Amino acid sequence: MRPDGDSFHPTLTFPLTRETDEAGNAINGESYWVALTKDGKVRSEGKLFLPPQDKDQSHLVIFTPGMPGETFCRFAEKRFVNPLLQEGNSILVLRHLGTWMHTTTSKEFIACPERERLGKSLHQETLGEQKPYDFRDLVEEVTEAIRTLGPHFRSISLIGHSSGALGEALALQEIPEDIQQKIRHFVSLAGLVGGTEHLRWWLRNRIILTIYLWQCQEVIHLKSPSMNIRKLEEMFRELYNHTLPSHIMPISIHAPRDELIHPLAAERYRKHNGRGLHIIDRTEDPCHHKLNNLQAGTLLRLLRMYHPNTHHTVTCTRREPVYSHHALGYPHK
């Protein structure tokens, strides 16, 4: 596919030319900033990476950040995009609509100076529509991305970090059946999928959670914390009213010492679905929640697996070097 047509905003969709991985190598494929529209409004924004045309190009991987998503987009693009492109995957790394541009934090959260320059010329202050968003609105980012891009691919994998995993799981309940059948993997990275009771004790306190959401407003144009806490509670009720479709393989990766979300969150969601591969990652250093030691080779091996009825727990204790052949998806020699 190529990013053109009525679903792509004609001004806010453009090629990128300076994308590199964490070793400084150029991205091995085509790179675009894309804005997806519906009914004349921007519904999703992010970076789309397409493999060379001699590759298969039939599989799409969508990454969704948490709230507010600190460093995750840059981390995913630097570490995972080139190895995924090498195997013929297309990749969409979403940003959250409402993310403030032209701030000291936008360098990490948007990680696209070209988009910020364009936004400044258009007198835009945030990504997406110039309005405050709530948590439920942000689920629509994933839903619309899958609806728009899904018809162009034979298979799709979803990878969500923290609350991004919650958004993806809810989006799976809303997309058309023919596209839902294309989803192969749902990968939850430190996923917020266990309800508020599986937040760490200090974050379960309503006052502290309110303060946290006020801080998120410095990064994203959000509605009030009280409204978003209500929305979050509604979203968890929605989540546990359904199970994942039986053809989708659930995979969760969680660090035991995660500072924000207790690893029992992943176990509760696996028990709800009655299946899933649960990986306990003991290799992480602070901040454990970011899962910064997750290597490209590990992610590639997981996406090669397809056993949707598996019910296993694996504990990882050994680190692998970042730039080895193994980290890029190749066996040790």
List the Cα angle 73/169/130 in 5-degree steps: 55
| CA 65/CA 136 separation, integer angstroms | 15
Phi/psi of residue 306, each to 5°? -150, 90
Q: What is the pLDDT of residue 65?
A: 97
Mean pLDDT calculated for residue range 132-154: 95
What does DSSP say about strands 30-38 and 41-50: parallel, antiparallel, or unpaired? antiparallel
| CA 47/CA 93 separation, integer angstroms | 5
Question: What's the number of CA atoms in the CB half-sphere (13 Å) around residue 314?
Answer: 13
| CA 34/CA 13 separation, integer angstroms | 4
Mean pLDDT calculated for residue range 247-273: 97
Q: What is the pLDDT of residue 324?
A: 44
Q: What is the pLDDT of residue 57?
A: 82
| CA 126/CA 257 separation, integer angstroms | 34
Q: What is the pLDDT of residue 6?
A: 84
Q: What is the pLDDT of residue 31?
A: 98
pTM across the whole model: 0.94
Q: How many helices (H) and strands (E) does the chain have?
A: 12, 10
pLDDT score of 98 more than 60: yes
**Pick the residue with more confidence: 205 or 6?**
205
Q: What is the pLDDT of residue 105?
A: 87
| CA 173/CA 242 separation, integer angstroms | 8
Q: What is the pLDDT of residue 322?
A: 54
Band (pLDDT 50/70/90 cuts) for residue 56 is confident
| CA 164/CA 287 separation, integer angstroms | 18
State the chain's mean pLDDT as an integer. Answer: 93
Mean pLDDT calculated for residue range 59-87: 96
Closest CA to 65 of 144, 164, 146, 133: 164
**Are the C-beta atoms of residues 160 and 64 closer than 8 Å to each other?**
yes
The residues that bridge with 33 in the sheet, in sequence order, are: 14, 47
pLDDT score of 204 more than 70: yes
Give 165's DSSP letter: H
Closest CA to 64 of 152, 153, 154, 135: 135
